[in-house]
Amino acid sequence: MEAGFLEGARGQLFYVLHPPVRAQLRGSVLYVHPFAEELNKSRRMVALQARRLAGMGFAVMIPDLHGCGDSLGDFGDARWDLWMEDLDRCLDWLLHRYSEPVIPWGLRLGCVLVGDWLGIRGIRPAATLYWQPVPRGELFLTQFLRLRMAAGMMGGNKETTSLLRSRLDAGEALEVAGYSLSPELAAKLATARLAPPPAGPLHWLEVVMGDAAELPPASQRIVETWRQGGVTVNAAAVSGEPFWISQEIVEVPALLDVTAEHLAASL
């Protein structure tokens, strides 16, 4: 493993690279992290998966986008289009070190960013990996604002999501769970939609609570719609805890196993 900084669209980006252990490269994986605190909660699982994939012959790059993690900038400076420019720089850097085939790997809202980025840039990946994809940015934004509402109730300050949305629409930045949410980023989230990759198979993998490991109905509907539209979607669910929001850092070994199996079968 190596770590360092590269020049992003607006300052230095921190990255971790897991080089392929095998002499023959199987592919270059670019990870796109989730939103706000979910990034930190998921680092353990992402690192474990990256090591697993490196052992299979993949080069895995894990960057922090602008305003996130250890990269330059504050979260309040983050913008959707800026993140896509950062992904451009990361992909160029990764392919300069290694080569195609390219496999984007998104987690949660990172899946929405991946789909948007691939479509706008015209990138045709060999395969794409979605972990726990968020179907709509607007739903995610509402859930994120509820964190502020819950904190406000404990302090006797009652707010509603519609009131908070109105303040964002008026150009006010809001602090939510320790993160400054800009009106520009909020506006983009409100219109963002999950999209399939323009090429290659999509591996849609989710973690669900309980013993019956199957995709939630909402996810099943999206997968079926995409399949009817000609997208090759390999979907699976495993039992485990939602590591991206758990209070304690948890591991879901079954997700690591099924991810390795899916990528090994397609590349």
**In the chain, domain spans:** 2-135+193-266, 137-192
Q: Name the DSSP letter for residue 177.
A: T
| CB-based burial, 167-182: b 16+ in 10 Å, e otherwise | ebeeeeebebeebebb
Homologous superfamily of 2-135+193-266: Alpha/Beta hydrolase fold, catalytic domain (3.40.50.1820)
Neighbour count for residue 156 (Cβ, 10 Å): 6
User: Tens of pLDDT along the chain (267 residues)?
Assistant: 999 999 998 999 999 999 999 778 999 999 999 999 999 999 999 999 999 999 999 999 999 999 999 999 999 999 999 999 999 999 999 999 998 899 999 999 999 999 999 999 999 999 999 999 999 999 999 999 999 998 777 666 788 999 999 999 999 999 999 999 999 999 999 999 999 999 999 999 999 998 878 999 999 999 999 999 999 999 999 999 999 999 999 999 999 999 999 999 988
Phi first, then psi, for residue 228 (nearest 5°) are -65, -25
The whole-number pLDDT of residue 157 equals: 77
H or E segment to which residue 59 belongs: strand 58-63
What distances in angstroms separate CA 41 from CA 33, 47, 154, 176, 232, one per listed residue?
11, 12, 23, 17, 30
